[in-house]
Structure 1
Amino acid sequence: MTGIGPDTVIADRYRLQRQLGRGGMGVVWEALDTRLDRKVAVKGLLYPGAVTPATQGQWVNRARREAQAIARIGHQNVVAVHDVIEDGDQVWIVMELLNSRSLADLLREQQQLSVPHAARIGLQVLRGLTAVHEAGVLHRDVKPHNILFRPDGRALLMDFGISTFEGAVQVTRSHEIIGTPHYLAPELLSRTAAQPHPATAASDLWALGVTLYEMVEGRRPFDGSTGYEVLIAVRESPVPAMQYAGPLAPLVERLLRKDPLQRPDAAAAERMLQAVTRDVALDTPAGPRPPEPARQGPPPAAGGRPQVRARRRRDRWAVPVAVLCTALLAGGAWYVWGQQDGTGTGDDRAHGKGTTGGSGAASTFSDTHQVLRIGVKQDQPGLSVQDGSTFKGFEVDLGKEIARHLGFDEDQVRFVRVNSGNRSDYLKAADRADIVLASYSINDEREKKDGVVFAGPYYQALKGLLVRKNRPYNDVSDLRNDPSAKVCTARKSVYETWIRNEGLAGQQVLRPGFEDCVKALLDPATPVYAVATDDVIVAGLADKYSDKTKALDNIEGGTEGYGVAMDANEAGLHKEVCGALASIMKPAGGKPSAWAVLYGRHLEPVMRQPSPGEPVLTKC
């Protein structure tokens, strides 16, 4: 196919609209899937007209097989492939369109990342890479530009334009080195006819090692003023000493061994990353950067104090803002970090119920209370539902786990039904609720307004929309274009503001709770055609009412962290709940955490994806 440009239609279905960028094998386009009326990303895998027709035919067959293998991966850390199209002498791969920032964007913004943040990103990329390798595909261009973040902070491996099957010849022009020089493994730079040194899984793991180094050190390990100097550095120079990698350093050093046979495999690398994410005791914030040539940026400010850009915490894996104590190691600025477990020292004087005053030892909440009352909602499939007098779901079982850690037996736990409009009132009323687990989104302003304090988050949710199945809605813009459509949400929820910001203020309908909105949505006599709530709630309701409703995906608007809420005067109880959550979220003895078990039992069937990992307790 020649004359590719805007308005070109691929396979009578995908209309190219604008270029998104140029990848290893050509141009990536934003396109419209005219059959499903949705935006997608489309990329050609081959250089057209670069070789003879016979060779081009072989390439087409190989590229088709590879694209089909990628499409079957279906991993949460790998970009979703919708379709594989062969049109003329080109193979096109049709992927989900991601309007997200990349790791490269994040590094430009923050310069370097903390050790736990980098380890978590690396672990997610490694898991995606492992899925790719298990499909028999090599990526060949792992780098920060090809790692994107979903709105929930999940890292996503993308751009398979130059990937190849193991053992396959290069799908590129003869004698050309493909890939980005800074991230190419040294064995790929010494290819000869006698020793071709084809790419292997170890080559991709080298690139991951370079990426990990860049995240924590704020610079790439191998650099030069020309491409040739970069290639020589990759092949011959030792790994520059690391100042900020801390417990990540041993893994990075092993991944960057020149001999691919001496690098750890994916399983070993995952074990080392998991150990860092569980046990890392030192967090390195962006500190003084190593000396760099003037062309790469200004030197540190006078007095040696680093110039650090403000960090916008947009992803769910951001480390806690507060650091616990400071230490100086190896001449660099290091900070002790960690999830507080409720056992630290501090002012233990009485603050409300649950502690004793004076100089005596602090009592626990269970010492002064015979029953723990937990507020939950009644109709959130997966999270919490009421069946007669019984409640069940993720939040219900999490509440039981918290109660156990606080010293209550199961027969001492009482569940009470709350909704978004009354849950803070229940916490203030005597003998109504001691804690609330009811998809209560953490918000500093809400804490002051509602007079509550949060512990958590115990879950991170995205924005979602539940719509009637018989309505032609695919995104928020479709609702804007239908003024008669009413969008319902719970009064006092975060969606009141969100709906207004989305230009739907005139279509907003408020109800005491989300369950009232769902009732209106299911009633064909009402003009409520959409319910705005969190994606996990939308997924559960769409599953329960699959014959009448559907979930809309990719709704923008950031994440909401669910917190365990309690009265603001309950400082002692807050400390105990934080300690309980820390224990519940911590894996032990090689086994998954209690949190992960509960997620697998209640939420994985609803979300149709494995656990995203335990969130960081930023409110403890």
Structure 2
Amino acid sequence: MHSGGGPDGEARARGVPPGRAQAGVPGPGEEPAPGRLIDNRYELRTRLGRGGMGVVWEARDTRLHRRVAVKELLFRGAVDPETQAQWVERARREAQAIARIGHEHVVTVYDVTEADGQVWIVMEEVNPRSLADLLRTHGRLPVQDAARICLEVLRGLRAVHAAGVLHRDVKPHNVLFRRDGRAVLMDFGIATFEGAAQVTRLHETVGTPSYLAPELCDPARRRPPSPASDLWSLGVTLYEMVEGRPPFRGPAPYEVLLAVREEEPDPPGHAGPLGPVLAGLLTKDPARRMEAGRAEELLRHVVQETPVTPSRLDLRTWPLTESTTGATRDDDGGGAEPPSPPSPVGPGRPWWRDRRLRLPALALSLVLVAAGSWLGYRRWSEPTGPGVSQTLEQAHQRGALMVGVKADQPGLSVLTDPQAHRYQGFDVDLASYIAKDLGFAPDEVQFTTVQTFSRELVLQNRTVDLVVASYSMTPERSRRVTFAGPYYLAGQDFLLRTDEKDVVGPEDLIGRKVCTARGSTPAEHLPAKFHGVKLTFRSSYGECVTDLLEHRVDAVSTDDIILAGYQKQHQDRLRLLGIPFQSEAYGVGMALGEEALRRQVCASIDRYVDSGAWYRSWQRWLQPLGLLRPSPGTCSNTDWQHLG
């Protein structure tokens, strides 16, 4: 007997009920074909990827006329009803978990629908290539790219935990990128959250062995998962980014789990400033593992210290220009000057002069990191027109611009000729450029030494017109002086003697003498950060260093850029702790209310950066100190009133 023509006839020949084939519904063991319409709305187009928890399709929302990603389950018809129901419940729970978060670094869920006995999750369309694909293509990543990606994933993960959700499968395969390059965390198929029904069996090991936390590796004595377990997985992911391989490997899953539980990973050879983050996240005891807030603080510092280059991994165009020529390497751990990028900059134009190449998210995060602690308090006066600067009028009348600088900060500002009042260093170069931009010839600029505790006083008394002296902008200071900046982003750290082997973290300095300058930001931050540190004050950091060398104090604390200069002078006797605890934004100080002058100095700072002079000065004075190059920040284009 003829079974009949057309789709229904073919369906009957396969044992599929009439009408199903015409609707595009797959038969047992089959996957849907492109063109199928889900819930009479989402048209499947191209299969993007396939993983342990489902197939992801590129689709079109026919109502809103936008591209979306649609996720469906695997093993259609190939598993027993109980297992199928369990997978359906996992998919439903994944959608619930993601939908309740809402964060820029967590994939966005638009819709959840059930059809054909399974759950379909409709999400934003992101770059279908994951961090795992990126690592396969490029090998290990440069430190600055690894730090940025890890920081973004960590922020997403913190939002996940704040919503009461545990991801339980953080790994490179589950980190994707939006079209603008921002990393997003996805695939919550085995997530758990408060109030969710459990769908995993008792003693079932859930997750990927290489990324599973040690406390979850022994089914017989396994502890319950926690946010610390997700942080371990993030640490493994970061290790893989900077080293090009996971820290724990084995020929079989059991060997991998055993290595995670019993062995220590090989010390990273390319982590550079990310070493403390890796050590903290890969601590086997979850009670002692680095907390998310501290990890974010250290990652922010690494991101701000890395060169202001366009990422060598342009994640916005990567799928279209994927390289197969081998890994991108940075053999010194991210500190070396990268090769010049190809030509969006244009022939003959240095890359650092083109602001279009600075990733917007990175630039904004750098400003927010360094200035976030005080921008919420500061409200700059609204400009009332072009205005006239009283300070500039007086300086032109006297025929000289008076600039206050430091005399004893190697690399930044050092008095080289007391008789002629000659100074040299990074701050001096900037001050000289600003003075010329304001209309003063070199012989019309008079430098004078200022101390940390006297900077506000000399500006209030108008003894000097400008102060360019590693001057951190803070809420308290902004009530007494006006700032233009930032022109440099630094981090507060500690300087120690090399014979102090037992000090491996700031907490080890509790109960010990720490020297800093009077009126400095460490004097304000240290008591709040580290209760029990015995602070002692000197007029200058040079005096503190002398006391440190002579064993009168146990450490010196100020900005890392200042400490690096002193460490360079005494390489065999002094060392940097290398774990910054506070970010600082340097600005040019002037008399309170000098809004017209602030605008002019800001414009001058931006021209200084764009001309390449900022970079050349950094190369000359600060690169030899071993510091990675930070962002100079943005002055004129920063709306200080609305960043807080």
Please give the TM-score of this superposition, normalised by the length of structure 2. 0.48
Kindly name which structure, 1 or 2, has the bigger radius of gyration based on alpha carbons.
Answer: 2
Please give the TM-score of this superposition, normalised by the length of structure 1. 0.49
